[in-house]
Structure 1
């Protein structure tokens, strides 16, 4: 059951959103608030999975609520002003709905919430798909800064072994076997990562050529890819194998051992 809270200073808007949610049996509206202070108190008391949060709350705004919370649940902004979208992304909102909320659009948001909660239940480190990923060039090193509510995760790109798509999520696998599950499509990382050494070998996999240790040929044109001692080798299909070998042929690096 998805436990959500609705925050809007207009009672008709709260009633309308709750009415739309009634079509989803796995969604429970556990509370509603019409002001920032009330929302702050209820969030601490109810601990909802998500807050559907209006931005314009009379004398206050929804961004102020996020600043006051120690633990921020998933945030879905609901507003009549599309100009707030960049600020919503800055605080890593899970989604941004424009009033009047359409039934089909709400359904997409709720599905995103379900997947987000499922990933959390699996114990993964989940970052919001609206988090800003910034490629930052450091002296002799490049990093990804993944900005989310209240913190920034810094990942040196040379420490990334691969990125794998998992539905609407991307799992970033580090060379030391740590991984981070990011609620962001794999394709959104294509422009953020340097090419080379990163190469997308399939719809679901991006490989860091610097981390390739061995490519062993298998039957039917497949291959077994090793990315270091800490990681379990992965099987690549025929097309992915062809793309990887072509990339390696044009990528000069000491230590790569294509086999076969």
Structure 2
């Protein structure tokens, strides 16, 4: 049984989605929430397999909640606005459903959820965060055109791009690898690597400076990598904890 939570500030939208999901066996709706604060408490209590998440909540954005979810919790974005599809891609959502949700699209989303859960069930358990990287602390990257071995400590950050991960190196180069971000996490030494959000892992030793925003956000710069990263409230909080600020 796959446990899910519905997060939407419109009770009618939650009722409609609950009714549609009731047609699928193996799906249990364990809770509903109308705000991020309520959702965070319920997620911590129930540890769901997936969250059906609206983006535009009253005075809030669902993306902030998505960034704070555990890596193994799947996200399915449900929104009335097509322009949020890119944001859904950035947080590695397994699907984007446009309101009003059609039964056919919901069926596709459920199938993707089942496939993701089955893949997680097949994964061997990893104890701690010190799995072997390879001989001499090297990690293998396989791109569409090449396979290479690099030192893990030359990586500045790893960023999810859907089912792929973009690896940014200290040299300024980047490589798009056909592997989920969470697959890398147990292979990277911590410290110096830390997950700041659902879609981002950074090498603390490569951080050059941080520009602190006025609205609880921040912009992260690296020593040699020219790429910068904008962090939301949750990512910024984790960064402050990491840097002990």
TM range, normalised to the smaller chain?
Answer: 0.5 to 0.7
Matched-pair contact (CA < 8 Å) for 1:74–1:93: yes
Q: 2:180 & 2:123 partners in 1: Cα distance?
A: 20
CA shift digits 1:71-95 (9 cap, x unpaired): 5610000000010111111111111
Alpha-carbon deviations, 1:196-235, whole Å to 9, x = none? xxxxxxxxxxxxxxxxxxxxxxxxxxxxxxxxxxxxxxxx
The answer to whether the Cα contact below 8 Å between 1:90 and 1:131 also exists between their aligned partners in 2 is no
TM normalised by structure 1 equals 0.52
Q: Partners of 2:103 and 2:175 in 1: how far apart?
A: 40
Q: How far, CA to CA, are the matches of 1:60 and 1:102 in structure 2? A: 26
1:151 aligns with 2:200: yes
Residue 68 of structure 1: how far off its partner (Å):
3.7
> Larger Cα Rg: Structure 1 or Structure 2?
1
What does residue range 79-98 of structure 1 map to in structure 2 within 5 Å? 79-98=79-98
TM-aligned CA distance change 1:26 to 1:96, over 3 Å: same
Q: Would the alpha carbon gap of residues 22 and 152 (structure 1) be closer, same or farther in structure 2, given more than 3 Å must change? A: same
Q: Give 1:6-155 correspondences, 5 Å limit.
A: 6-69=6-69, 71=71, 73-123=73-123, 130-134=162-166, 143-144=175-176, 148=181, 149-152=198-201
Task: Give the distance between the partners of 1:40 and 1:95, measured in 2 at CA.
Answer: 21
Q: Give the count of matched residue pairs.
A: 153
Query: What CA distance in whole angstroms lies between the structure 2 residues aligned with 1:140 and 1:57?
Result: 38
Gapped runs of 5+ residues in structure 2? 126-158, 182-197, 203-245
TM-score, normalised to structure 2, is 0.55
Using the alignment, how far apart are the partners of 1:68 and 1:138 within structure 2?
27
Gapped runs of 5+ residues in structure 1? 154-260
